[in-house]
Structure 1
Amino acid sequence: MPRRYAFGRAEDATHPDSMRAALSEFIATFIFVFAGEGSLLALGKIYYKDTGTTPSELVVVALAHAFSLFVAVSVSMNISGGHVNPAVTMGTLLGGRISVLRAVFYWVAQLLGAVVAALLLRLVTNNMRPVGFYVTAGVGEWHGLLFEIIMTFTLVYTVFATAIDPKRGSLGTIAPLAIGFIVGANILVGGPFDGACMNPARAFGPALVGWRWRNHWIYWVGPLLGGGLAGLVYEYMVIPTEVPHHTHQPLAPEDY
């Protein structure tokens, strides 16, 4: 069959599908360059400034978070949608995917889970104080806030693209892996600067048990803003309006 080439029509430039496709390419390229180039800057931060973290330690932390989030999302996706993060819940709430009441239940459960985990860690490690998150030397609080907004945006955007989008198809099967990978990549970028939290519950549990509140507000405001923005962008600018929208459904991944 002969190949078909087409220049396209003038109206293609303003067609909603073209706009959504261009937006998708913009954000996808942003995610790639932010993680790739950012990792080089992070290594510079480690090697030439005192961050208290070596490159090998950073890789271990990134892998631990990526692997554990992959499992956490996998074991909860078919029951709760696999949020594991108040920022993800915020994104789905603003996107109209869950009700306000269910979001509140999720937030309470996520925070309690983080606190219990930190308490048990303190117990089994013979009273080692949880480390928590803070902005490193030479990095301002507002820089840390911007880091958290950007990194959480890329995380929640990935959640929407792989786990929520009605047109995801077979891509949904690798959603937990993709979500774990973006968290690991963001830790390699943001870890030397502000710890790369992206999750208010992840920050709150160790902060409460270890009583470490330095810069703590950043790890609430940044992720909630970034996650909410990602939910709004994907829901109202990427997902076609003609696709059926199953809202406020409990939990099956196909209705997430």
Structure 2
Amino acid sequence: MDPVVMNINGQDSPREVEEGTATFLEGKDSSRTAFLPCIISHEFFSLEVWRASVAELLGTAVLVFVLDTIVISSYQTKTETPNLAISFFIFPTLTILLLATFPISGGHINPIITFSAALVGVISHSRAFVYVLAQCAGAVLGALALKAVVNSNIEETFSLGGCTLSVIVPGPDGAITVGINTGQALWLEIICTFVLLFASVWIAFDDRQAKALGLVRVCSIIGAVAGVLVFVSTTVTATKGYAGAGMNPARCLGAALVRGGQLWNGLWVFWVGPAIACLLFYVYVKTIRDLPPWTEVLSKNGLP
């Protein structure tokens, strides 16, 4: 997912944030050297970083436009299982966009990928800051593009395809609010985001797995896992009004800024939940980083 991990910079051993600066170590860092990548502020003036941020901006804009369109289309056509249709189309959409942006930026197009990469030392914090700003700006552009082409009635009915916890619908005694509470939504964000990081994104961060599987398979796994998690989150709640686990705070923010209204209710959940999941993922990575590969464990125990 990142140039440092999967070698998009054209180096045989891509472990440097910038040539001549701090080196990322593999599990044997002292506290001093482990902190060095976090303080590389000169990346703010790096043309390569800003060029990569443009790819993140455009990639996120396209992602938001396409995914929100898919959400609206799936519900507008009155599909029997709209959540299944949405999950199905997330897979190819996310896979293609990851492949498209990877050669330039490492293919994040999601603040949780960037944040977790910075936490585990894959990229510097300054690069992560620029990426997240670009992703949020791209999400707003994608939402603006969608708003410009959809009918105003559709925009209002489907909340521009954004992240919702609840919606207002007509009832026998007037308008009522249907959806899930913030506690349920927060737990779903934490769980689904952690599973996404654990089951797919970690493959991109791990050199051995990334090299063994190859770029296309890694991106496909991430797309497939994201699609499955959206389906699971909407199925277990089975509640109208809840859009499912966001797992991309920028996408939720873009629609909220452009559309507003109900999208602001509980927006913090789609930021706080993934942030907590990233911290849990960091603890997990730090816990297992010094463990030897399972094949070495078997070999030492005399097993085949």
Secondary structure of 1:98 counterpart: coil
Worse-matched range after superposition: 97-106 or 128-137 = 128-137
In structure 2, distance between residues paired with 1:74 and 1:223: 23
Superposition pairs of residues 121-132 of structure 1, within 5 angstroms? 121-127=146-152, 128-129=154-155, 130-132=160-162
Match runs of 1:181-196 below 5 Å: 181-192=224-235, 193=237, 194=242, 195-196=244-245
Shift of 1:89: 1.0
Distance 2:184 2:126 in 1: 33
Deviation readout 1:174-202 (Å, 9 max, x if unpaired): 11100001110011111254421011011
**Contact (CA 8 Å) 1:118, 1:209: kept in 2 or not?**
yes
Which runs of structure 2 are paired with 1:137-156 in the superposition (5 Å)?
Answer: 137=178, 139-156=180-197
Whichever residue aligns with residue 140 of structure 1, its letter is: N
User: What SS does structure 1 have at the residue aligned with 2:163?
Assistant: coil
Task: Say whether 1:112 aligns with 2:137.
Answer: yes
Question: Runs of 5+ in structure 1 lacking a partner?
Answer: 1-52, 244-256
* Superposition pairs of residues 1-256 of structure 1, within 5 angstroms: 55-127=80-152, 128-129=154-155, 130-136=160-166, 137=178, 139-168=180-209, 169-173=211-215, 174-192=217-235, 193=237, 194=242, 195-211=244-260, 212-234=263-285, 236-240=286-290
Classify the secondary structure of the residue corresponding to 1:167.
Answer: helix
* 1:251 alignment counterpart: none
In the alignment, the residues of structure 2 paired with residue 96 and residue 232 of structure 1 have an alpha-carbon distance, to the nearest angstrom, of 13
Q: Which amino acid aligns with 2:202?
A: A
Equivalent position SS for 2:87:
helix
**Distance (whole Å) between structure 1 residues aligned to residue 234 and residue 182 of structure 2:** 14
Contact (CA 8 Å) 2:200, 2:225: kept in 1 or not?
A: no
SS at match of 1:198: coil
> Post-superposition shift, 1:138?
5.8
RMSD between aligned alpha carbons? Answer: 2.1
Number of paired residues? 190
What is the CA deviation profile of residues 142-173 of structure 1, one whole-angstrom value per residue up to 9, with x for unaligned ones? 11101001101111223443211021132233
Q: What is residue 249 of structure 1 aligned with on the other side?
A: none
Q: What letter matches 1:162 in structure 2?
A: I
| Change over 3 Å in CA distance of 1:172–1:232 after alignment to 2 | farther
Post-superposition offset of 1:55: 4.9
Structure 1 CA distance for aligned equivalents of residues 282 and 187 of structure 2: 17
Identity of counterpart residues, as a percentage?
33
1:227 to partner: Cα distance: 2.5
Q: CA deviation at 1:242?
A: 7.6
Matched residue type, 1:163: A
Consecutive unaligned residues in structure 2, runs of 5 or more: 1-77, 167-177, 294-304
Report the AA paired with residue 132 of structure 1: G
Letter of the aligned partner of 1:206 in structure 2?
Answer: A
8 Å CA contact retained: 1:95, 1:232: no
TM-score normalised to the size of structure 2?
0.58
- Paired with 2:202 and 2:124, the residues of 1 have a C-alpha distance of 20
